[in-house]
Structure 1
């Protein structure tokens, strides 16, 4: 044991690691280890101290120092949203929420009851004693009249955040932040991390007063949605502090002005299918926000897209409480500080976001840039890439586009508060609804021995599981005559042939010659040389890896509707 303490391992540099990596790739190019992110940044397979220092140099210490000094608070406060169908239920839920660990009351003005004088008076008492986050539409929102009800002697100590499409003016409330860089609407339109950061600066630039930056900063905060890309979201929250420092310096402010970061789990990746996976997404997002340095955080319940229950709300609240208690991350000022990867990614986000911010400013500011259509075009391009990656299953949305549970019942109820969210799962949910309507009988003709067809049969089964379909299988069919007999004697709407390439080329022409007219027949795999000939003889098409699942399954559904009619 004493000898082990003195062992020194040989230090390996990047070039030595690269040499070993190339050898392990067995002929594949080294560049295949590099990944291009949705932000257009190339992610390397390995980050080292040398590469980090080479890239940032003296900037590294400044970056780390800035991030650590600009943390607005030492806490990570749970800000669970309050739900309730009636006034009594709503206020009962507030009390319960406070008793069970909620620190910031999150209230959306869109409630199913009317904000009466009585309810506003009750709310005024609560807001006088508890930190809050209010979501309102604009300055005319009836919920804002609650501040007229609060006793004047208490107004100086009332603390909270107001999220609105426009700055809210409140007199005599010095601790309420009312100017918000709310990037969440852009997030749901498809914006990536770099675009959200640039838009944060553009919004700040829009509302800041030239000679009164500090007064503006005391009212300003940011509101982010945190998505499932763990390291990217950590870097985003760190980068916004560096960008904020650069903006304040541009206005002649030399001292550090902290920037409160309010955030929540992104509903962009939430699905109505296999809803408990949303809980896993929420935990991942909350932990990245905790590490990244968010100050106030909301975990949306896993069933919030439909109708959250007391249990789901409790679980969501406890996600933050457990993370804080078990991870001990709050004992560290900057948990990811010094990470070669995170520091590099933070720097790249800062660089790219500042570049886009300057482009927005050169176009005349946020409003002019938006009206020109450039902003919409940028977000649509990113969103299209993200949707395509899911449709081709290059990216996973567990329980929705991969490992889908076909027996999972799709909920048709929609929570009106979040009906506007542009979610990635929506096309797959629509597929479920379509196939639920037509209820086709689908089977896989598995030819040969199990070892010959299992991989393709499993792939086809998973392919159709995304539409909620359980494919029947023929079992081992050993001869072409038996395959013909099975095809003729079973009343299916749609059949996929799954076997080896050689067997497929042999069996498909025979099956096409005898298949019933109304039967749709597809083949598992790519057969470009035979494609034209087979389709001319009645083959519907092919199912293969990398195919657009949405387009293919919609095409099949439309053909099945035509056959059934």
Structure 2
């Protein structure tokens, strides 16, 4: 074949049905649809997407134009890069000054830090005149009033140079903390005046925040995050319109804040869908296209981070930051790997900041324009999210809006249902958390978690709702690990159960390894016996180890031949020990095994948290008896 002939060669074209047929052959008779799964958003994810999945949405083909799913700038990050907005944590003002200066010298491009009680009083000392070159990225919360006043004092004639945002979302504060120190109507009265004053002196500073992170960190689905956030935005608009702010001014001042979770494509679609719905809402208000653009500040999720095996948090944050950038954002905070202990270091800060710089300078994502655009999967997911979020948004409005939905507890209940589903999936290991509920390292040293903050005193409360619990998904297993560490201090060794390994290595290894990995998330060690081929060998292993819990590990054939008789003999000689069996028997088999002496069964469908917690509870009870 000549070169010219090769150039004219083409690959054969296959229809979607032929692809499906080929896939189903490899599935050995199963339908391709068996690979589909349903998300927490009640969206069915298919194994294959094609042009057939295009829907009748009015999809904009160009970034920078309504419906803005493809971004708010026509040239994407080529036109305006996202700001590196690492939120600086600090113990004192001197530490903040040093960290902020160092960060800005090493790639940070936005002024971002936690506002504390004494921050405003020393703001001039902290920021000097760096605000003239770098925008703010500050969620000031209820400190916004004093923070804005301090900014006005120090800026003077250069106040017009202040850009970025120093925002507050009173609804998010209420949802997270469950309280406000002032009635909501009075708060909006004061807030409206503050926004007007800030605009008169600092016209380029945005002061209205729509913060969806309390919903995300409470376990909400992407649909719930979007619906709650957009409902809060509408509440802000209505309240501020009633207080004589113009629609144009309100929309210009709004910034949305999102947490970015672990579901990579869902998070990309979440940001794209958010812009779509916001365009629809603001269009209904009569806003011009330029005023319908959504400014997004994103942060990697606190909800997904772990205290054990914390270096895995580097990978989690990298994945989440990548999704945020592909989704199209204007500000980004990447959480340091040791964020759960709230005690950062220069090392962890640098790694987090460099994660963004790698995405910019090495992956060249700052030269892209909506790289996810046109993907049938991402576009379909974006449309699905937008539809379902719009439906829930309307439900919230039917309940009287976000404030009334929180006051009644309806929204908290909706989020609680999803949080419980997520937690159960972690308990049963349907959802993996590497280093926590799977592949746990028993020798791992955890981060030192801070103590829970004190509750607000009753005299400081004027508005109350049921708060949305702010959690990390790994916390229940981390509590198990701490319990096992306390037991280890008392025992002088790690808590352990004995694994009675039946027959040759190839006969018991798979189940013995499974059980070892199954109990490790609770800090429990699996002590494997040698090859057990007789009752006497099993007795000897039990006498040598002296544990309270043992698990039989072997093949189904061994279980059928000698398993039940061995269990009876063990229970006869050691009636106080608890025996597990590594398998999932059928209904009839379970009854027979239990009658022979097996107490519980451990298998891939077992609730890992429940089983391991039960073992620790029995060990703790035995220690108290002694």
TM over 0.5: yes
Aligned runs of 1:145-156 on 2, under 5 Å? 145-156=149-160
Change (3 A) 1:533 1:437: farther
Could you say which residue in structure 2 is the equivalent of 1:483?
538
Measure, in 1, the Cα distance between the counterparts of 2:360 and 2:563.
60
Aligned runs of 1:316-465 on 2, under 5 Å? 316-414=352-450, 421-439=470-488, 440-465=495-520
Q: CA deviation at 1:411?
A: 3.0
Could you say which residue in structure 2 is the equivalent of 1:514?
570
Q: CA deviation at 1:443?
A: 1.9
Aligned runs of 1:108-147 on 2, under 5 Å? 108-110=114-116, 114-115=118-119, 117-123=121-127, 125-138=129-142, 142-147=146-151
Alpha-carbon displacement from aligned partner over 1:193-218 (angstroms, at most 9, x marks no partner): 11111122211110115583211111
TM-score, normalised relative to structure 1: 0.93
Measure, in 1, the Cα distance between the counterparts of 2:209 and 2:92.
29
Alpha-carbon displacement from aligned partner over 1:414-451 (angstroms, at most 9, x marks no partner): 28799974100001101101111223232211111111
Correspondent of 1:181 among 210, 234, 247: 210
Measure, in 1, the Cα distance between the counterparts of 2:95 and 2:394.
48
Measure, in 1, the Cα distance between the counterparts of 2:577 and 2:443.
25
Could you say which residue in structure 2 is the equivalent of 1:100?
106
Change (3 A) 1:348 1:49: same
Measure, in 1, the Cα distance between the counterparts of 2:521 and 2:140.
37
Correspondent of 1:220 among 254, 268, 291: 254
Correspondent of 2:290 among 249, 256, 272: 256
Of stretches 288-297 and 194-203 in structure 1, the one that deviates more from structure 2 is 194-203
Q: CA deviation at 1:69?
A: 5.8
Measure, in 2, the Cα distance between the counterparts of 1:206 and 1:57.
27
Structure 2 unaligned regions, length at least 5: 171-190, 456-468, 489-494
| 1:294 has 2:323 as partner | no
Could you say which residue in structure 2 is the equivalent of 1:315?
351
Could you say which residue in structure 2 is the equivalent of 1:19?
21
Could you say which residue in structure 1 is the equivalent of 2:183?
none
Change (3 A) 1:200 1:462: same
Q: CA deviation at 1:116?
A: 7.1
Change (3 A) 1:208 1:519: same
Could you say which residue in structure 2 is the equivalent of 1:283?
318
* Aligned residues of 2:567 and 2:597 also touching (Cα < 8 A): no
Q: CA deviation at 1:63?
A: 9.0
Measure, in 1, the Cα distance between the counterparts of 2:59 and 2:103.
44
Q: CA deviation at 1:318?
A: 0.4
Change (3 A) 1:498 1:141: farther
Measure, in 2, the Cα distance between the counterparts of 1:415 and 1:133.
27
| 1:232 has 2:266 as partner | yes
Of stretches 389-398 and 477-486 in structure 1, the one that deviates more from structure 2 is 477-486
Change (3 A) 1:140 1:41: closer
Q: CA deviation at 1:366?
A: 1.1
How many residues get paired? Answer: 561
Over aligned residue pairs, what C-alpha RMSD do you find? 2.4
Of stretches 221-230 and 122-131 in structure 1, the one that deviates more from structure 2 is 122-131
Change (3 A) 1:10 1:140: closer
* Aligned residues of 2:71 and 2:272 also touching (Cα < 8 A): no
Q: CA deviation at 1:91?
A: 0.5
Measure, in 2, the Cα distance between the counterparts of 1:372 and 1:90.
40
Change (3 A) 1:418 1:264: farther
Measure, in 2, the Cα distance between the counterparts of 1:256 and 1:343.
23
Q: CA deviation at 1:49?
A: 1.8
Could you say which residue in structure 2 is the equivalent of 1:56?
56
| 1:208 has 2:208 as partner | no
Look up the SS of the partner of 1:153 in the other structure.
helix
| 1:8 has 2:67 as partner | no
Look up the SS of the partner of 2:290 in the other structure.
coil
* Aligned residues of 2:232 and 2:402 also touching (Cα < 8 A): yes
Structure 1 unaligned regions, length at least 5: none
Q: CA deviation at 1:269?
A: 0.5
Measure, in 2, the Cα distance between the counterparts of 1:14 and 1:65.
32
Alpha-carbon displacement from aligned partner over 1:396-420 (angstroms, at most 9, x marks no partner): 1111111111110223332879997
Q: CA deviation at 1:563?
A: 3.0
Q: CA deviation at 1:2?
A: 4.1
Change (3 A) 1:5 1:391: farther
Q: CA deviation at 1:545?
A: 0.4
Measure, in 2, the Cα distance between the counterparts of 1:140 and 1:233.
29
* Aligned residues of 1:22 and 1:29 also touching (Cα < 8 A): yes
Look up the SS of the partner of 1:95 in the other structure.
helix
Change (3 A) 1:57 1:162: closer
Change (3 A) 1:418 1:538: farther
Change (3 A) 1:256 1:522: same
Could you say which residue in structure 2 is the equivalent of 1:194?
223
| 1:563 has 2:612 as partner | no
Correspondent of 2:94 among 85, 88, 96: 88
* Aligned residues of 2:338 and 2:447 also touching (Cα < 8 A): no
Measure, in 2, the Cα distance between the counterparts of 1:60 and 1:88.
49
